[in-house]
Structure 1
């Protein structure tokens, strides 16, 4: 699994992020300074521009989020064979940083969630000590449990019996058949203090839902990491459906396919949908997301999972449309090719 980070120099990154970074309060600045000092003690080398930006940058957390040197070092530490243990200093820093309650610092933790989840799910079957990773995941889950206040995430499903800007309908009758239909996107959450095998997919899925809600703030490298791990989780070769269980050459750990229940697969597909169809026109990200969707589609075919087949197949169709030359078309207008001329 390769480490992805933006190919920019620290100085150019500092200039770019300073221009787009929103200002923060003095309390947030104090928390950020403390977090940066703690992280500098963990990393082997710390960018001098970040240390300088504490006093010169209105939002040093924003610079930390997008710094490629920090991302590379943290990613390498998370991928080490003994990472994820309960006494791991980096896991403790990630946990404390998220628990600080500062939204800017929480984004930094979420930036590394794909690697945390990827390594964690790949090592669960090996029965290695992963209390450090689980503490971070439980912190994210508890945050979502509190913010949702026992309510599920729902959406309104359009009812064609009601008029819209795209079609007309007869005067609706006020009964259950014409009322808006609510679809549950994510059920209500129950508090959990430990990660058991029966809860693991739900806890990780909720953490990924939180990541998806902040995905527009995430650097491209974080999204590519996620797409790469999706290929590993699928465990399918697109060419001949061979299992990809194998030893990783970087650190000797065994990686391969994992169970993909819907409560885990659903947020995964939402994130991949953003990577395919998001506003960021990044070819490397698109290619990584395309490969991930193909692998998950092959996995769905192997498992004969109709729901997953429909979802992954739809993403592939959307991806193919995104590859086609773009035209500025109004979807409400009828194309000339569809008009019958008599």
Structure 2
């Protein structure tokens, strides 16, 4: 019985390797070959090695970002569609690894040229969406929050409560409806599911793919905005105004308050967020902005949170995530989206706290190293006196 089970496992392992090698050969035919083809074919874990292969990533991203990519006859999109439907989790991770590149090529083109054919990109995004719809069975993700007025499990209440513990429930993610095409009204939800899937697998993703997505998010937030060139300054001003003790604190430009005057009020600088108008008040013709509704904001914020605070993130990825968070905060404050302002502001404060802690730790280490360095003993002073 045990021998039969081992034989089945061996056959399954070999079939996975054979399938992965076949997909690598198909990718090589599309890309025109790549230097690491033979090492990948000879590997015992070809799909896992393909996931982290930087040479393949360079060629794939270059083809996805080309002007003619994403059409219905795009062979690379067809390869991704078929690879994801292979059912192999490691091959599926390879497709998810390129979600940042797909979204970065798809969203700007969909926003600037609505009639352009992008059915190749949309087929891959629909494959990810359909898989997630099947896993969730169309249901939303429900979270429950205990009533904070009730005593916790770790404390004995002085006065026992007679009422039952109330639990408040809310949908972390709404239910998913089956989609056969990417309609304009459903585009954000479909792309958001793909980004959420990337977040679920982010621990297995190469650090480079996280960096690519952080850079793309910053571009999405600034695209078509007149303040894009000074986005860091705008975000800093908005953050200072948000934590100001009251409306008496004024910065450059006219300050408008939103909500009651308190320490939690949100202040928006009109000069910092000047709309796309020239001196005569005429509207300038600029690149169209990429819509960022909550369906996109939510998975983006989770990804940035992981990149900022994840222990495996490189310093370059953390810096890029912080820059993306500043751009999102400026965009959310400009468009006055409360549900996006609060979490982006929280990301900025977490980033500042992490940087301060890292600087303090580095200073402490440098100080300890200086104090522990043994100093060279001084020679005793010899006083020469004239002989008698």
TM-score by length of 1: 0.80
Rounded to whole Å, the distance in 1 between the matches of 2:274 and 2:217 is 16
Match of 1:185 in 2: 172
Distance of 1:313 and 1:320 partners within structure 2: 11
SS of residue matched to 2:32: coil
Q: Which residue, out of 311, 315, 329, partners 2:347?
A: 315
**What is the aligned length?**
291
Identify unmatched segments of 5+ residues in structure 2: 1-11, 234-271, 277-285, 362-388
For the Cα contact (< 8 Å) 1:232–1:255, is it kept in 2? no
Contact 1:114 1:226 in 2 (8 A): yes
Q: What aligned pairs does 1:155-304 form with structure 2 within 5 A after superposition?
A: 155-160=143-148, 161-165=150-154, 167-169=155-157, 171-173=160-162, 175=164, 178-235=165-222, 236=225, 237=228, 238=231, 239=233, 240-241=272-273, 257-304=289-336
Bigger mean CA offset, 200-209 vs 231-240: 231-240
Structure-2 change in CA distance of 1:30 and 1:173 (3 Å): farther
CA distance in 1, matches of 2:295, 2:347: 18
Give the Cα separation in 1 of the matches to 2:172 and 2:184.
23
Is there any run of 5+ residues in structure 1 with no aligned partner, and where?
Answer: 1-23, 245-253, 329-342
Aligned equivalent of 2:243: none
Aligned-residue RMSD, C-alpha: 2.2
CA deviations over 1:207-232 (Å, ceiling 9, x no partner): 11111111111111111111111111
CA distance, structure 1, for counterparts of residue 308 and residue 156 of structure 2 = 33
Query: What is the match of residue 364 of structure 2?
Result: none
Q: Say if 1:168 and 1:27 are closer, same or farther in 2 by CA, change over 3 A.
A: farther
**Quick one: structure 1 residues 243 and 149, their matched pair in 2 at CA, closer, same or farther if it must change by over 3 Å?**
same
Hey, what's the Cα distance between the residues in 1 that align with 2:110 and 2:196? 21
Where do 1:128-147 residues align within 5 Å? Answer: 128-147=116-135
Indicate yes or no: 2:60 matched with 1:74: yes
Report the equivalent of 1:12. Answer: none
